[in-house]
Amino acid sequence: MTLLVTIRGWEVEPWLDRFRRLLPDKRIVTPGDDFARDRVEYVATWKHPAGALRDLPKLKAIFSLGAGVDHVFADPDLPDVPVARVVDPDLTMRMSEWVLLHVLMHHRQQRMYDWQQVEKIWAEDREQPAAKDVRVGVMGLGELGADAARKLAVVGFDVAGWARSRHRLEGIRSFAGAAELDAFLARTDILVCLLPLTPDTRDILDRALFGKLARDGRLGGPIVINGGRGGLQNEDDIIAALDDATLKAAVLDVFKSEPLPPDSPLWSHPRVTVSPHNSAVSNPDAIAAMIARQIRAFERGEALRNVVDRTRQY
């Protein structure tokens, strides 16, 4: 039986190597190989081309190689089999590291101190609020958002979260649904977005939303940090909101078009921090092992875990 590994934008060899070692009884193939399509039972995908999974009559499950599945549902010819996604402590830890890094970077005004060092300025009199006086709002309280929110709370920030449903996380105020979004934004100084990209969340980070963030915070203006997906953000609105001081700064790991085009004004905006969609990379050792465990369990008759709801698309 065969596992088809279809990857765009990442190096494929490390994945083939791990899958071959972990699943020695399976044939591991890529789309360019010569293989019998009627022997493919599993697909592991990162951004497969639309239609590439047609004509796989024995297909039993599709595994996204990332936590997000928008790349899977972008295929209008997606076979009607379960789609499972990555839920793994290795990935979760990586995202929380990135969120903490950038929240603390802005909270402790590190970009300003970098500049002062370049200019050899010694200024001791800068105001530094305590973490408890800075309100962080996390959009999305799933695997990644909940972990980041908990860790931000441990550092001492005043943390709230927003999701479709109410969440019970100790020390973290939960806001739920469209009806509570404005109240959540109104108490947020640093907005961390870890939502999935779905028809309901596309372009949610726009000018109107930025205008609802708290204006009475201790950091001199709201800051937006997006590690979710580029499709969640209106990039023209981000630039406009930075330029008219609706936003103080933006940290973006994901973009509408990736790689970020060289002519994007986001690259050189003085108050934008760009990272190349690597806030939480899928590590082949950890994630191939997770998927191999899933396949083994499934073949023992256990239910597939982390299966995505096709209607909600996350």
**207 binds, options ligand OXD, ligand NDP, none, Cβ within 5 to 8 A by partner type:** none
**232 binds, options ligand NDP, ligand OXD, none, Cβ within 5 to 8 A by partner type:** none
Selected catalytic residue, list 18, 106, 167, 229 = 229
Q: How many residues contact ligand OXD, by CB under 6 A?
A: 6
Binding mask 70-99 for ligand OXD (x = CB under 6 A): ----------------x-------------
Does residue 226 bind ligand OXD (CB under 6 A)?
Answer: no
Q: Which residue is nearest to ligand NDP (CB)?
A: 142
187 in active site: no
129, 219 in Cβ contact below 8 A?
A: yes
Least distance between ligand OXD and beta carbon 14 (Å): 15
Closest CA to 256 of 247, 265, 248: 265
Least distance between ligand NDP and beta carbon 127 (Å): 32
167 in active site: no
Look up residue 88 and give its two tokens.
């793994």
Identity of the residue, 132 or 312, whose beta carbon is nearer to ligand NDP in the bound complex: 312
**194 binds, options ligand OXD, ligand NDP, none, Cβ within 5 to 8 A by partner type:** ligand NDP
Identity of the residue, 98 or 175, whose beta carbon is nearer to ligand OXD in the bound complex: 98
Does residue 198 bind ligand OXD (CB under 6 A)?
Answer: no
C-alpha span between 76 and 186 (Å, rounded): 38
Residue 218 makes CB contacts below 8 A (sequence gap 6+) with 127, 129, 133, 134, 189
**253 binds, options ligand NDP, ligand OXD, none, Cβ within 5 to 8 A by partner type:** ligand NDP
Stretch that binds ligand OXD, among 65-73, 166-174, 293-301, 303-311 (CB under 6 A): 65-73
Selected catalytic residue, list 166, 277, 310, 312 = 277
Identity of the residue, 29 or 150, whose beta carbon is nearer to ligand NDP in the bound complex: 150
Candidates 16, 63, 68, 255: give the one binding ligand OXD (CB under 6 A): 68
Does residue 282 bind ligand OXD (CB under 6 A)?
Answer: yes
Least distance between ligand OXD and beta carbon 89 (Å): 14
What residues from 252 to 281 belong to the interface with ligand OXD (CB under 6 A)? 280
Does residue 66 bind ligand OXD (CB under 6 A)?
Answer: yes
CA distances from 265 to 194, 260, 274 (A): 23, 10, 11
Interacting residues toward ligand OXD by CB under 6 A: 66-68, 86, 280, 282
Q: Which residues are catalytic?
A: 229, 277
